[in-house]
Structure formats: C-alpha cells, structure tokens
Amino acid sequence: MKITEEIIYVGVNDHQVDLFEGQYAVPNGMAYNSYVILDEKIAVMDTVDQAFGQQWLANVEEALQGRTPDYLVIQHMEPDHSANIPVFLQKYPEAKVVATPPAFKMIRQFFGLELGEKAVAAANGGELALGTHVLQFIYAPMVHWPEVMMTYDNKDKVLFSADGFGKFGALDVEDDWADEARRYYFGIVGKYGMQVQNVLKKAADLDIRIICPLHGPVLAENLEYYLNLYQIWSSYEAESEGVVIAYASIYGHTKEAALFLAEVLEKKGIKTAVHDLARTDLSKAVEDAFRYKNLVLASNTYNGGMNPFMHDFITRLLERNYQKRTIALIDNGSWAPAAAKTMKGMLENSKEITFVENTVTLLSAMKPENKTQLEALAEELP
C-alpha cells in the first residue's frame, strides 16, 4: 500500500491476538505497522510482532523490488515493533540500525546483539539524509517507553509517530477511530500526559500532512481533529459532558442505586455511561472515566473498605494520573459503611478533584429516602 509515491506500507494485521499486552481485549485484532522509504538510500521503519516476521519480510521484499535496504530505523523497542530486528539483519546483513542510545541498550537486552559499526545513534533533532528525503529525529521519552523517538520526513511531510496516535484494531476492520484510540491512549500512554504535551509542542513547529503510527490507520485527512484529541487527552481535560457511573455490587442493592441515579440523570438529558466493574472491560471503564466530566463511584463495603473490583478500578485511574474531575460517592453497608471513606481516601490527593457535598449511604437496601437523596445528588453534578 502506497502512503506516498516513495513511502510504502509493509505492516501486518494480527487476528490471532485476543489480549494486547496480555490485558487489553482486542476483538478486532491489532495492526503492527512498518514502512519503507524508497530513495537513493532506503530506510525501513520498524519491524513487527515476532509471529509475523516472515510475512513482514515478504512485504518488505515486495516493496524493495530487488533493491537492498540501507537502514532499519527503530523508533520503539516494545517487542510488537522490534522483535524481528535479528531476522532482518540476517537477511540484510549490510543494513545499519538507527535508534536512540537507550534503544541500543534494549537491543542487547532483548537479543544479545552487539551491533558495532552497524549502529547509528539518532541524536535528538539530528538528521539522516536518504537523498531527497531527510529524516529528522525527535526524542519522545516515556511516550511510553524511555527509548522512544519519532521521525519526521521533510519531503513528504510525514510524521512517523511511534505509538502516538495509535489505536486498537486491525486495518482490515472498520471501527470508530476515537473510541479505540482513546481506550488505547488511556490504557497504555495515559500516565505520561506531560511527556505527550512536550512532543505535541515539538510537533507544532512541523508541517505535518500525514501521520504514520505503529498501530492503527495512517492519518492523512483532518489532522487537526486527531491533534486536538491528543491535546485534550494529554492535558487530562474532559472531552465530553456527561456522567460515568461505576458500581460494584454483591447482592444487587448498590447496583439498584446506581441504575436509579442513571435513570434520573438520563431524564434530565444528561449523558451517562454505566459500568458494572465486576463484568465490564475495565479498560473501557477507564476510558470513559477520562472522557467524561463527572464520575460517580458506587460500592458496597467489603472487609472494612470497598469492593475489590472498585479498588482495582480506582487503582487504574490513579496509575494514569486521574485528575480535573467532579466525583460523587455512593456506599452501602449493613453495619459499618466504609466504602465512601476509603474511596475518597484513595482519590483525595489527586490533582483538581472536586467531591460533591453529599454522599448517599444505603443501609443494606434501597429505601424511599435513598431515592430522594439520589435525586438530590443528580442536582449536584455539574
């Protein structure tokens, strides 16, 4: 697939994977993207997952049309992008490897390879001339590994963005970009908002017309839309008005309260996203918690604290620097309700978190007065 006249897509689709990184459900598979830049000298941009090495090498060979690559540029050392460095070098022993110094350390760690004169260290802001294409390297540490760099091609105005602007899903399946890119971003990159902001500032000085990520589709139209979403996500601002209600319930009483509140909010015309934390895909619940402005946490008391599914959910939010949100609490206990206190305790030191004034407490089961309290709680959510 041609990206431009001289940039060829040579990636692969993976429909064998069920859990990406061993934890994120990917019902539509994954794409592992790689590209070839054809010029006086030829650069191959990244490799693919180990399971697809031979397919990828065949794609590269077809793109080369009998020529030999001069460089393999490694932007990110996660194995879904670097696993085939050894097989590439076996097939093309004269090729040099371009990467950051931390990446070369990881190459030794993963593969035991000492590249010697084959190693070309990419400096931050440094350039590599292929002919009419000049590649500029942009360090992007902790987006989301420390060795990451992005690469800008100043001829075709292409940003090779490593894992930035990636998404879940193979390229032969159509789905909504924002939904799966948002879930991907907050699941994998979300902790590193400040580092993403730094890269966005660098990118603002470039004339970018195409973005080539390592996962998901090539972005060649309406780039402001994608850049704006990354600006929102990485600054932890709410993308949409609405309320996320995340609940953990044992015998259904806490669930009843959560669903009643959702019904009240929907009648007021407020968008809600409801997640049963014991059954939902937690990466989707995390995505929605970052997407919407308000969060309601509803949990039964358990072992003197909160339901373990709620604890897991809040932990995931904290690991990703959850902030700038309004939170309401619902708890339930038959003799010593403690969930609200422990939930608040976990979140109260997060940046710019506002708790609504009132907490709704159920004593074993829903009562008429609880419905009145929940209706009042709905009024407190901005």
247 and 224 in a single domain? The answer is: no
CB atoms under 10 Å from CB of 303, counted, come to 10
Alpha helices in 175-252 (DSSP H): 177-184, 193-203, 223-234
User: Does residue 2 lie within any of the structural domains?
Assistant: no
220 and 253 in a single domain? The answer is: no
Q: Which amino acid is at 127?
A: E
Residue ranges of the chain with per-residue pLDDT less than 50: none
- How are beta strands 353-355 and 24-25 bridged, if at all? unpaired
User: Does residue 154 lie within any of the structural domains?
Assistant: yes
Q: Which domain holds residue 71?
A: 7-234
Q: Of 201, 234, 267, which residue constitutes the final position of a domain?
A: 234
25 and 75 in a single domain? The answer is: yes
d(CA 68, CA 51): 23
Structure confidence by residue, pLDDT tens digits, 194-245: 999 999 999 999 999 999 999 999 999 999 999 999 999 999 999 999 999 9
The CATH number covering residue 250 comes to 3.40.50.360
195 and 146 in a single domain? The answer is: yes
The sheet carrying 149-153 orders its strands as 127-129, 134-139, 149-153, 158-160, 210-212
The CATH number covering residue 172 comes to 3.60.15.10
d(CA 360, CA 17): 42
What are the tokens at 43? 């650069």
- Asked whether 87 and 110 are in contact (CB, 8 A), the reply is no
pTM equals 0.94
327 and 180 in a single domain? The answer is: no
Alpha helices in 69-192 (DSSP H): 79-82, 85-91, 101-111, 177-184
Beta-bridge mates of residue 232: none
User: Does residue 1 lie within any of the structural domains?
Assistant: no
CA neighbor of 203 nearest in space, from 247, 169, 158: 158
226 and 278 in a single domain? The answer is: no
169 and 46 in a single domain? The answer is: yes
Q: Cα 147 from chain centroid?
A: 17
Q: Which position has the token pair 């259904």?
A: 252
258 and 322 in a single domain? The answer is: yes
218 and 355 in a single domain? The answer is: no
Question: In 220-324, where do the E strands start and end?
Answer: 240-248, 272-276, 292-302, 305-306
- Asked whether 32 and 21 are in contact (CB, 8 A), the reply is no
291 and 176 in a single domain? The answer is: no
Instruction: Give the per-residue pLDDT at 290.
Output: 98
d(CA 320, CA 39): 41
Instruction: Give the per-residue pLDDT at 382.
Output: 79
CA dihedral sign, ordered 23, 24, 30, 32 = negative
d(CA 80, CA 46): 10
φ/ψ of residue 240, rounded to 5: -140, 150
**Total domains, the chain:** 2
Instruction: Give the per-residue pLDDT at 52.
Output: 98
CA neighbor of 6 nearest in space, from 40, 46, 32, 51: 40
Q: Of 200, 234, 268, which residue constitutes the final position of a domain?
A: 234
- Asked whether 174 and 213 are in contact (CB, 8 A), the reply is no
Instruction: Give the per-residue pLDDT at 1.
Output: 87
